[in-house]
Amino acid sequence: MEFIREDCIYARQSVDRKDSISIESQIDFCKYELKGGSCRVFKDKGYSGKNTDRPEFQKLLGEIRKGKVRRVIVYKLDRISRSILDFATMMELFQEYDVEFVSSTEKFDTSTPMGRAMLNICIVFAQLERETIQKRVTDAYYSRNKKGFFMMIEGASIDHASHPRDIATAIKETIEFDRSVRLAYEFYKKHPDETLIIVTADHETGGLTIGETTTHPFNWEYVNYQKMSKESLSKLFQKMRETGEIDTWEKTKKILAENTGLWDKIPVNAGEEPQLMQCYYETIVKKSSKQEITLYAKSEPLVADAIALLNKKIGVGWTSFSHTGGFVPFYAIGCQARQFGALNDNIEIPNTIRKIMKIK
């Protein structure tokens, strides 16, 4: 079956600020490239360009893989990605499906070697800009606080992902948190006598168990096949239900496979697929409004079942959708780190910090 290939506009805005161009303005700029022609618009508001975990962007990639896209138009290169690795992967996909890429404010001809080279140079500078901003924030804290400062960095998205039992997202968010700790550690190495770093948590969430058994082997690599968080995938499914784009099981199965790795890269046996098909029938075909409700999100039942199956395939288990009474790790390094004991009550940690900082 042949499709009429469309022009598509993609717009993204991470935060709504006065000095940040709005999604609507980005779209207006991009429409100049159409010269009055029609297009489809994909827009992600409130999403960073540091990775590709964006519902509308993933939907656009899905349309490209179906061969439905002729050209992708953006206001500026960094709207689509600020990561060299993600951008390189994306350009390979564009080339594979013969998709033209256009930036309305930066003129690139991706059909020529020089044009592709200029494109790669620009994405390097986009990533450099993001990393420079991070360093600028660190330097600003140091220069403006000659008398010392206290900074709290919260990896809240780890907890956010653990409530709905989304192991792949929780791991990826933990890696992001680790990068923040590494940045703090680099600062500590420059100022070891006046810096204290504490890493801990106020609770454990989900009762996560990780292990390897003969019946359920631990397949760590499966984590990499999940392309979207459970929450983002649920939002994508909700939109596709409204537009009727998942009106058959085969279409639905393809979307799940693209975003979780199930079937394509992770085997699904004859007993597991019928359970997902039954959920599809109950929720999509019969148009049930039932949702899986956790502390921070509502998940589509079919997405919830698919992620639960992925958890099983990875080899992890959960005992709760909420906080548990389990112990949490505590790490401290630097100035007066020995003030903390081997076992600490949560409420004593801030009291000890106040003592070290001589705050009454």
Catalytic residues: 14
Sign of torsion over alpha carbons 34, 79, 246, 3: positive
DSSP of 279-294, one letter per residue?
HHIIIIITT----EE-
Long-range pairs for 207-214: beta carbons < 8 A, 24 or more residues apart: 207/318, 207/319, 207/320, 207/324, 207/326, 208/162, 208/167, 208/170, 208/316, 208/317, 208/318, 209/316, 209/317, 209/318, 209/319, 210/315, 210/316, 211/315, 212/315, 213/315
Q: Give CA separation, 200 vs 69, 86, 203, 317, 337, in Å.
A: 46, 31, 9, 22, 13
Give the C-alpha separation, 167 to 319, whole Å: 13
Interior/surface letters 111-123, b for 16+ CB within 10 angstroms, e for the rest: eeeeebeebeebb
User: Exposed, middle or buried by CB within 10 Å (0-12, 13-18, 19+), for 169?
Assistant: buried
| Cβ(73)–Cβ(7) below 8 Å | yes
Give the C-alpha separation, 53 to 195, whole Å: 34
Give the C-alpha separation, 117 to 133, whole Å: 25
Q: Give CA separation, 263 vs 267, 270, 332, in Å.
A: 5, 11, 44
| Cβ(82)–Cβ(49) below 8 Å | yes
Element (H, E) at 165: none
Give the C-alpha separation, 148 to 77, whole Å: 38
Token reading at 75: 């206001």
